[in-house]
Amino acid sequence: RKKVTMQTIKSLYKKGEPIVMLTAHDFPSSHVAEAAGVDMVLVGDSLGMVAMGLENTTEMVMEEMILHCRSVARGAKSSFIVGDLPMGSYEVSSEQAVQSSIRLVKEGHVHAVKIEGGEELGPTIKRITQAGIPVVGHIGLTPQRQNALGGFRVQGKSCNSALQLLRDAMVMQEAGVFMLVLEAMPEEVATLITSKLKVPTIGIGAGNGCSGQVLVQIDMTGNWEPGRFVPKFVKKYADVWGEATRGITQYRDEVKSRAFPSKEFTYPIPKEELAEFEK
Ligand code: KIV
Ligand code: NA
């Protein structure tokens, strides 16, 4: 297919066609996302939890993000790839944020960076976009700030906090974001924000009024042990864990019983050679 660019995203938005974004964290997960036809691939720092086993995303560092971004970029050659700026890589100063963004592009091979926060990021977003790097904002539930938010909690449930989210969105748009991720907020709030903006919104747990949607691939493909906590907004579209467990259990049983490898999976040797060899 044709390469998805900023122009493609803009034209989808203009047409009112929902933009499909999905996370990926390595070569196979990005390859399958692209093969299935998603428009945008997000290398979210949630990979620290779903692919590295961390408790939360606050431990993620640039080097880890770069490593994963590089692998994703190799698997999704025609997708538009966005990489998360990890906690600690942009808050200190605009200069730090620009430097980190440049690294994600040059070393991680992403096309745009995503930054969590609110209106306070205005000057930072402006500086990154001035460096020629497209920026996606991320407001609402911002997992890197979970300690300040009191955990993974739905945002914008009061009129005041909803209005603050709208202010954050407007300031970030003014500063130059080309897209805004809205995470974990009532549908009405996300829909209102979307209607006020001139750039697309991508919702996750934000209802059906956004310009597009994003989910974490490991969550939506059901690649997790039954019983693990998943947020309300996760729809399980597949059962990768179940299928992998079935296959691996059968493999284990067949190795134990010597049913595997059967002749079908074994290299033959010509009879004459064997006779010679066995002498
Ligand atoms: O890290 C991530 O996967 C994200 C999405 C959930 C938006 O930031
Ligand atoms: Na993230």
Tens digits of residue pLDDT in 177-222: 999 999 999 999 999 999 999 999 999 999 999 999 999 999 999 9
181 lines ligand 1 (CB under 6 A): yes
The CA distance from 140 to 162, in Å, is 9
Contacts of 233 (CB under 8 A, 6+ apart): 184, 204, 205, 206, 215
ipTM score here? 0.99
Considering every ligand atom shown, identify the ligand nearest to the alpha carbon of residue 183 and give its number.
1
Domains and CATH numbers, the chain: 6-238 (3.20.20.60), 243-278 (no CATH)
The verdict on whether 116 is a catalytic residue reads: no
pLDDT at 279: 86
**What would the pLDDT profile of 255-267 be if each residue is shown by its tens digit?**
999 999 999 999 9
Q: Is the CB of 29 under 6 A from ligand 1?
A: no
**106 closest CA partner among 64, 66, 141, 161:** 66
* Of 17, 95, 174, 183, catalytic: 183
Q: At CA 21, angle to CA 62 and CA 218, rounded to 5?
A: 70
Q: Which of 230, 260, 224 is nearest to 244 (CA)?
A: 224
What 3-state class would DSSP assign to 56?
coil
Atom 8, ligand 1: residue with shortest CA distance:
44
- For residue 41, which ligand has an atom nearest its CA? 1
Q: Which residue positions in the chain have pLDDT lower than 70?
A: none
Q: What is the pLDDT of residue 12?
A: 98
| Single pTM value for the model | 0.96
Closest by Cα among 114, 116, 93 to 104: 114
